Amino acid sequence: MTKSKQPSILEADAGAYATHVHHKITTFLAIATPLLFLSPDSVTDGMFGKAFELLLSGNIAVHSWVGLNYVARDYVPKVSYALLPPARVLCAAVGAITFLGMGRVALSSPGGIKGCMKGLWKGKAGERTK
């Protein structure tokens, strides 16, 4: 009797369930991200906005983790099969760092992620645009 190998948690791209989850997260991000940025500040300021941005941060982190695993599975074996497990660890680390960074911005930055993105297009105080 042979046991089927259970995929490791680091193999975020393994199986139909992972693909299904990845597609659901992609759909959520395609709908939620424009809603966040197009909604008025009065709606996104406060606890609701922080919770929504934290949820968005988690989805972005998982989306990038699974997506990077697909890329690693396709391209790392062309260099060496032995590099695939370390590449999967790196993918998980990138996903975790993404969540920690975006979560911190969502919770402690003025205006959260939306405020941070809006700040990219605003000039410094007292600076004139040409």
Domain ranges of the chain: 15-119
Asked whether the beta carbons of 69 and 13 are under 8 A apart, the reply is yes
Q: At 7, which amino acid appears?
A: P
Nearest Cα to Cα of residue 98 among 44, 128, 57: 57
- Give the model's confidence band at 125: pLDDT under 50 very low, under 70 low, under 90 confident, else very high: low
- Dihedral (Cα; 30, 35, 38, 41), 10-degree rounding: -140
pLDDT at residue number 68: 93
CATH class of 15-119: mainly alpha
Tens of pLDDT along 81-99?
999 999 999 999 999 999 9
Token pair for residue 4? 């089927």
Asked whether the beta carbons of 83 and 91 are under 8 A apart, the reply is no
Token pair for residue 85? 């497990």
Mean pLDDT computed over 21-46: 92
**In which element (H, E) is residue 55 found?**
helix 47-79
Check: pTM over 0.85? Answer yes or no: no
